[in-house]
Structure 1
Amino acid sequence: MSIPAFQHQRSRVPRTADGIAAALSGARRMAFYRELGQAPIGQAEQVLTRWWCEAELDADPEQDRIIAAARAGTLPTVSMADVLRLRRERGGAMPGE
């Protein structure tokens, strides 16, 4: 599995339901609230995480370039193993920890 290779930078969107909603456009904001409202308690965090990623992309000034590169298959990627290795090396918490 490969994921986009981006330089880490500060989040533009707070990792809260209100932060996510504020970063989304009207129709997408309503879809977010609808999905969050219908999610079982055990899945609410997954919904928040997915929509936070969407909101981060929406708030990225390079959104159009990133989407075009992804569609063209030219978006640089790294393996998940490399991401986890780099996280360990930098002292970051691992998923599930």
Structure 2
Amino acid sequence: MRMKIPICFLIILVLLKCVLSYNLNNDLSKNNNFSLNTYVRKDDVEDDSKNEIVDNIQKMVDDFSDDIGFVKTSMREVLLDTEASLEEVSDHVVQRFV
């Protein structure tokens, strides 16, 4: 009887250790288990406002690009008109002195 108590106690400790080691190795029983919620972004009000701000900035950039394109086209037309006018003036000057 005297040896039975330590042996029972030892068996209980071994079983407890096995259960604890199983819980430590089981990924689903951990507090820091893998969760898709941390990796999948949820759309919320803040994301919508950020997306709206980005969309507004993109519209401003597009408008600015359109304005720059318009200015480039206008300047090209003005320079071509100026070149044509200078050619006409130079032709008149050459005709007067010839």
Q: Given the two structures, how large is their TM-score scaled by the length of structure 2?
A: 0.22
Answer with 1 or 2: which has the greater Rg.
Answer: 2
Q: Given the two structures, how large is their TM-score scaled by the length of structure 1?
A: 0.22
Return the structure number with greater helix share: 2
Return the structure number with greater strand share: 1
